[in-house]
């Protein structure tokens, strides 16, 4: 079932035009022959390729020339038997593995450690418990040596809140009318959002919450600061913050990032839906921003009791203070999180941090909405020298947006005030304008519209970069990197930066996987489809709506789904061996890596968030919103239980203690 943000992201707010699919494919494939009516064929063609030379063909061997070494395994990376599909109300993992729920919504983690009372906890109690809708997550090890594998901080986002669940404790509860909505209700919802930092310890094989001093909840009301070029900008000023330098809280925290200097990045995604537009009289700039970012809707009814979420002509700028990436130091529980404006304002999915060859920090980021863009930030100086000088490496640098060309090459276009069309006459009088109005700037410079770019992942062994484009059923036109119209099941794009340098300004790209029912297969879900869907997968590996994406240190690419599946199956997690591919066989999923289904979640959930301990022998995966649209009792799976379904983490181990997936 669609998550609340799904419908929202399905609506294009981008007025720029794309070209027709056939035109693109013709120009990209040149002399290659297309089968008539071959949308499906063309998509597989793009991924597999057959002839010619150039960047595309370099990428056909994209995952074959991995250089092995450094103590990493040299053979196949996958050693488990793939599981089948499942519609059971449980987490299914391969034979020889165990999955155990941990830290469900409402688990007390600090303060008075208030017990979970579904629907009955106060706002103050919720702020001392795990929030709802677990999403992106990182494990920060504590201790030295082998202790690092059984002791650490789990830091995770709480993306959203279903008000029925939060306020009544049941997905089928009855909410009061708007006239009876209270400030306490809004405060409880706001406390269910944000980020949780929890110390966990493995005691004789069982992971437990440590009542430690580092445990912390960050919510929609936690004081934060703005840093970087947009700090103090006129578009960030409000009545409550006339300086435009400080802001209360973060919400709709989707996925995340983690820096080499030990901090956590939390990404604000569908912030727009928490505001209500009150009245009229907005100037053209505010109208343009609210339109392009889709501000409005008051999805969680916060505007009923918190004036901050009412957008008025007298106080129009509060929405501009969201849509950022915030940095949190998990080891300093009293530190103030910083919203890093240099990373741009969009519907941020995740933020993958790597280092360029020159030592500068590089952050890859997707903007999850149909026809929005892929970005990267490159720091101005080596990040180690910035840290040594007490400066943030994330405050000074250049934001770029991706342009994918039909011939398999690509460019990163800088978003710099005064360059190209980013002039005062076009509404960009300073760099703050560019960063607050990132989407509008990216359109002006000719970025490539994507099919909802979600997580980005980097294979640390090859430096290749991957992004999930989850789906796009509302578009009517295509481009080479997003070739299907409609794109019901999504795809994964892969690219390699020039000279494998993440700081490079050009790259070559290809499609790694076109999701769906598989080569020659007809989707069975939804029923009634009669055509193959253009997927290049093996039918046994069928999946749709790829979203979460993460490469472990060995180059296993973990793929998590959220949304429509082409087969009757709950949302799932698969893993691809990026070091090994099967021999090419005509008519099959030529060129694909070995992909295996590793996990299927309970009913009505999405799978999102995955991380491991440093020894790769414990994996943490998040199960978000079980029971959405279809009844579930997970994780309290006692048949007589009346407990509501709850988002939770699952801890996955191999019964023989081995590396996960190997």
Q: Which residues bind Ca ion (CB under 5 A)?
A: 3, 547, 562
Given the complex with Ca ion, which of 199 and 562 has the nearer CB atom? Answer: 562
Given the complex with ligand FEO, which of 434 and 549 has the nearer CB atom? Answer: 549
- Least separation in angstroms between residue 575's CB and Ca ion is 18
291: its two tokens = 């339109």
Q: Choosing among Ca ion, ligand FEO, none, which partner's interface includes residue 289 (Cβ < 5 to 8 Å by kind)?
A: none
Contact 408, 28 (CB under 8 A): yes
What is the chain's length? Answer: 662
198: its two tokens = 């929890």
- Least separation in angstroms between residue 454's CB and ligand FEO is 5
- CA atoms of 355 and 366, how far apart (whole Å): 18
- Least separation in angstroms between residue 366's CB and ligand FEO is 8
- CA atoms of 14 and 441, how far apart (whole Å): 12
Given the complex with Ca ion, which of 228 and 544 has the nearer CB atom? Answer: 544
The answer to whether residue 159 forms part of the interface with ligand FEO (CB under 6 A) is yes
29: its two tokens = 């494939």
- Least separation in angstroms between residue 368's CB and ligand FEO is 4
The answer to whether residue 163 forms part of the interface with ligand FEO (CB under 6 A) is no
Contact 165, 225 (CB under 8 A): no
The answer to whether residue 298 forms part of the interface with ligand FEO (CB under 6 A) is no
The answer to whether residue 454 forms part of the interface with ligand FEO (CB under 6 A) is yes
The answer to whether residue 368 forms part of the interface with ligand FEO (CB under 6 A) is yes
Residue showing the smallest CB distance to ligand FEO in the complex: 254
The answer to whether residue 349 forms part of the interface with ligand FEO (CB under 6 A) is yes
The answer to whether residue 554 forms part of the interface with ligand FEO (CB under 6 A) is no
Given the complex with Ca ion, which of 346 and 435 has the nearer CB atom? Answer: 346
590: its two tokens = 């030529």
Nearest to 267 by CA among 158, 178, 184, 362: 158
DSSP-derived 3-state class of residue 180: helix
Contact 383, 361 (CB under 8 A): yes
Cα angle vertex 258, ends 257, 260, to 5°?
145
Calculate the alpha carbon distances from 76 to 549, 560, 641, 661 in Å: 20, 21, 43, 11
Given the complex with ligand FEO, which of 5 and 163 has the nearer CB atom? Answer: 5
Q: Choosing among ligand FEO, Ca ion, none, which partner's interface includes residue 269 (Cβ < 5 to 8 Å by kind)?
A: ligand FEO
The answer to whether residue 269 forms part of the interface with ligand FEO (CB under 6 A) is yes
The answer to whether residue 451 forms part of the interface with ligand FEO (CB under 6 A) is no
Q: Which x/- pattern, by CB under 6 A, does the window 4-23 give for ligand FEO?
A: -x------------------
How many CB atoms lie under 10 A from the CB of residue 562? 26
Calculate the alpha carbon distances from 436 to 79, 290, 317, 404, 417 in Å: 47, 12, 11, 24, 12
Give the strand pairing for 572-577 and 374-382: unpaired
Q: Choosing among Ca ion, ligand FEO, none, which partner's interface includes residue 435 (Cβ < 5 to 8 Å by kind)?
A: none
- Least separation in angstroms between residue 450's CB and Ca ion is 13
73: its two tokens = 């395994």
DSSP for residue 623: E
Given the complex with ligand FEO, which of 318 and 547 has the nearer CB atom? Answer: 547
The answer to whether residue 318 forms part of the interface with ligand FEO (CB under 6 A) is no
By the criterion CB under 6 A, which residues form the site for ligand FEO? 5, 159, 254, 269, 349, 368, 454, 547
């Amino acid at each position: 079932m669609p998550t609340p943000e799904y419908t929202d992201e399905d609506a294009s707010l981008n007025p720029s035009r794309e070209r027709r699919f056939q035109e693109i494919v013709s120009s990209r494939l040149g002399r290659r022959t297309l089968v008539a009516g071959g949308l499906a064929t063309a998509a597989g063609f793009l991924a597999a390729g057959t002839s010619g030379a150039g960047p595309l063909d370099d990428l056909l061997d994209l995952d074959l020339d991995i250089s092995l070494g450094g103590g990493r395994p040299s053979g196949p990376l996958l050693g488990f038997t793939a599981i089948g599909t499942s519609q059971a109300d449980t987490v299914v993992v391969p034979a020889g593995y165990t999955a155990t729920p941990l830290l469900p919504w409402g688990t007390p983690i600090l303060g008075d450690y208030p017990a979970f009372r579904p629907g009955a906890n106060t706002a103050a109690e919720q702020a001392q418990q795990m929030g709802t809708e677990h999403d992106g997550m990182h494990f920060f090890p504590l201790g030295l040596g082998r202790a690092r594998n059984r002791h650490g901080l789990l830091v995770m986002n709480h993306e959203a809140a279903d008000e029925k669940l939060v306020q009544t404790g049941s997905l089928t509860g009855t909410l009061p009318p708007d006239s009876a909505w209270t400030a306490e209700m809004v405060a409880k919802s706001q406390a269910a959002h944000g980020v949780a930092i929890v110390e966990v310890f493995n005691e004789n094989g069982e992971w437990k919450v440590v009542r430690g001093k580092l445990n912390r909840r960050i919510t929609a009301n936690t004081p934060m600061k703005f840093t970087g070029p947009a700090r103090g900008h006129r578009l960030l000023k409000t009545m409550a913050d006339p300086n435009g330098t400080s802001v209360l809280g973060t919400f709709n925290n989707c996925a995340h990032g983690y820096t080499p200097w030990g901090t956590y990045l939390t990404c604000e995604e569908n912030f727009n839906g928490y505001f209500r537009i009150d009245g009229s009289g907005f100037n053209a700039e505010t109208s343009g921003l609210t339109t392009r970012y889709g501000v409005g809707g008051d999805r969680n009814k916060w505007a009923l009791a918190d004036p901050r979420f009412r957008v008025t002509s007298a106080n129009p700028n509060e929405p501009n203070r969201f849509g950022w990436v915030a940095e949190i130091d998990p080891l300093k529980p009293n530190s103030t999180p910083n919203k890093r404006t240099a990373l741009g304002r969009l519907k941020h999915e995740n933020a993958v941090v790597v280092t360029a060859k020159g030592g500068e920090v590089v952050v890859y980021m997707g903007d999850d909405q149909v026809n929005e863009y892929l970005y990267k930030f490159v720091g101005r100086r080596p990040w180690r020298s910035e840290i040594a000088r007490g400066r943030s490496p994330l405050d000074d640098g250049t934001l770029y947006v991706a342009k994918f060309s039909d011939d398999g090459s690509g460019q990163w276009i800088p978003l710099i005030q005064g360059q190209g069309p980013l002039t005062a006459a076009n509404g960009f009088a300073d760099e703050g304008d560019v960063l607050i109005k990132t989407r509008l700037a990216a359109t002006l410079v000719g970025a490539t519209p994507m099919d909802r770019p979600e997580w980005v992942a980097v294979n640390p062994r090859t430096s290749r970069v991957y992004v999930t484009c989850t789906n796009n059923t509302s578009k009517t036109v295509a481009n080479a990197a997003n070739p299907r119209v409609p794109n019901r099941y999504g795809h994964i794009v892969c690219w390699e930066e020039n000279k494998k340098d993440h700081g490079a300004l050009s790259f070559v790209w290809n499609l790694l996987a076109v999701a769906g029912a598989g080569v020659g297969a007809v989707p069975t879900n939804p029923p009634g489809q009669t055509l193959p869907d253009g997927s290049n997968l093996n039918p046994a590996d069928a999946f749709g709506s790829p979203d979460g994406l993460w490469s472990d240190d060995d180059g296993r690419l973990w793929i998590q789904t959220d949304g429509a599946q082409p087969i009757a199956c709950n949302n799932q997690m698969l893993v691809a061996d990026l070091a090994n591919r099967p021999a090419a066989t005509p008519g099959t999923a030529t060129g694909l890596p070995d992909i295996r289904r590793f996990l299927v979640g309970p009913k009505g959930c999405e799978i999102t968030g995955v991380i491991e301990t440093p020894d790769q022998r414990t994996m943490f995966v998040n199960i978000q919103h079980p029971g959405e649209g279809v009844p579930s009792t997970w994780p309290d799976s006692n048949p007589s239980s009346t407990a509501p379904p709850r988002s939770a983490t699952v801890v996955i181990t191999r019964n023989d203690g081995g590396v996960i997936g190997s």
